[in-house]
A and B are shown apart, each in its own frame.
Chain A
Amino acid sequence: MAVEITDSNFQTVVKDSDKVVLVDFWAEWCGPCRMVGPIVEELAKEYDGKAVIGKLNVDNNPNVSMEFGVRNIPTILFFKGGKLVDKQVGAVPKAQLAAKLQAHL
């Protein structure tokens, strides 16, 4: 199960983590996000223990979205050691996300 990330737990879950963290910025009304959602859940299962996979609802958590200038959704940000290392905008196939994640492990 992907971790629910919010404005309040972003510091502890993402910035203070020593693992690679994938954050999926999504919204309920966004069609393409619903295509990416299940892929993120699958990745959460596959990378359980190796990386942290989380989802952040942009409607409920505007601060983090603003901090990283997320203007397009779905956007997937990759963090390593609390720092932003990679970015993927738009709905993409699972293999592409997995490859990006793998590159930072």
Chain B
Amino acid sequence: MLLLNFDALKLPIIHPQYIQKYSALELLAKQVVEGFITGLHKSPFHGFSVEFAEYRIYNPGESTKHIDWKLYGRSDKLFIKRYEEETNLRCQLVIDASSSMYYPVDVKADAETQNNKINFSIKCAAALSELLLRQRDAVGLSVFSDKLNFHAPARSSTAQKKMLFAELENLQQQYNPKTTVETFAGTLLDQIAEITHKRSLIIIFSDMFDNADKEDALFAALQHLKHKKHEVLLFHVHDKKSELNFDFENRPHHFIDMESGEEIKLNPQQAKENYLKHMSSYIGNLKTKCGQFKIDFIEADIAEGFDKILYAYLVKRAAIL
């Protein structure tokens, strides 16, 4: 069993700047995972290995394959070693690829120091896939915006790994701010719940900026996921500085809705109070609903490192297996 004592672990902080110098996503994922494991001291891999749990008296006629011969040599006793096989996990990574996820737009796809929300999500998903596949857990990937763009059910093969990384890299290159795609998180999560048959851990990366009037559909979809006996981890990917704190310079700004293209000119200071009020009530509502459905809601600020995401997953895994 995996026990994590976060306070006792003096973990190195993995800065995105450090790892982003490796362009290939797979290499980046490896770097994150390796650095993360080195910090953990205790190996988080326990899916594939089997644990020696008990001795059983050897029955004559039985296969001699599992006899503990060292014990026989020491004590003339014929005993069979029995192992406890640990169950493996199926995990479906779900990435929201709607236009709002490409915020902040001034960040380039290969930027060394900054991430936009989609890049952050892709890198986290890559690191998680690496970690999961290394311990022989099965990983799948779903990408949605206004439709389900991609869906691969969970598998643990090497071919799956290649396919996932290719798809993630492809997603990274799809950056085009001129075409806008809306989010139908509610409908699409509902669809994912419907097609994911086996009980899985569903990890969602989304900014949760669905249309306000579709909020009920979103909550219904989250409930649907739980109803299908899935465990759900929801990473609320956001740029804390501008999106949650509305921290802009005090001069007139030109705001553009990335999904509908609607434009508005205003002074941030005037709108700030109202914006913060609405934002905190929306996030509060989301958190309450997630609490009700026993969904783990985790805030993921794109300015922070990836380790928080990996911990959240490891804690969840330890809890459900």
Contact = CB atoms under 8 A, between A and B. Distances in A.
Interface of A: 27, 29-32, 71-75, 89-91, 93
B53 A73 contact: no
Nearest to B75: A29
Interface residues of B, number: 15
A29 B74 contact: yes
Q: Classify the interface of chain A: helix, strand, loop or mixed.
A: loop
B71 A72 contact: no
Contacts of B79: 30
B52 interface: yes
Contacts of A89: 54
Q: Classify the interface of chain B: helix, strand, loop or mixed.
A: strand
Given A72-B82, A90-B82, A93-B1, A32 B74 contact: no
A31 B81 CA distance: 10
Contacts of B54: 32, 72-75, 89-91
B265 interface: no
B1 A73 contact: no
Interface string B46-62: 00000111111100000
A27 B53 CA distance: 14
Contact of A32 (B53, B57, B71, B77): B53
A69 to B, nearest CB: 10
Could you say which of B1, B51, B54, B74 has the most chain A C-beta atoms within 10 Å of its C-beta?
Answer: B54
B84 interface: yes
Contacts of B82: 72, 90
Given A32-B55, A72-B55, A72-B56, 4 more contacts: A29-B71, A29-B75, A73-B55, A90-B53
B51 to A, nearest CB: 8
A72 B74 CA distance: 19
Contacts of A72: 54-57, 82
Contacts of B52: 31-32
19 contacts: A29-B74, A29-B75, A29-B77, A30-B55, A30-B79, A31-B52, A32-B52, A32-B53, A32-B55, A72-B57, A73-B54, A74-B54, A89-B54, A90-B54, A90-B82, A90-B84, A91-B51, A91-B54, A93-B1
B64 to A, nearest CB: 17
Contacts of A31: 52
A61 to B, nearest CB: 15
A95 to B, nearest CB: 10
Contacts of B77: 29
Nearest to A71: B57
Interface in B32-82: 51-57, 71, 74-75, 77, 79, 82
Contacts of B55: 27, 30, 32, 72-73
Nearest to A95: B1
Contacts of A75: 54
Contacts of B53: 32, 90-91
A93 B56 CA distance: 19
Nearest to B74: A29
A73 B57 CA distance: 9
B73 to A, nearest CB: 11
B38 to A, nearest CB: 27
B9 to A, nearest CB: 21
A89 B53 CA distance: 9
Interface string B70-113: 01001101010010100000000000000000000000000000
Contacts of A73: 54-55
A91 B82 CA distance: 10
Contacts of B75: 29
Contacts of A74: 54
B74 A71 contact: no
Contacts of B56: 71-72
Contacts of A90: 53-54, 82, 84
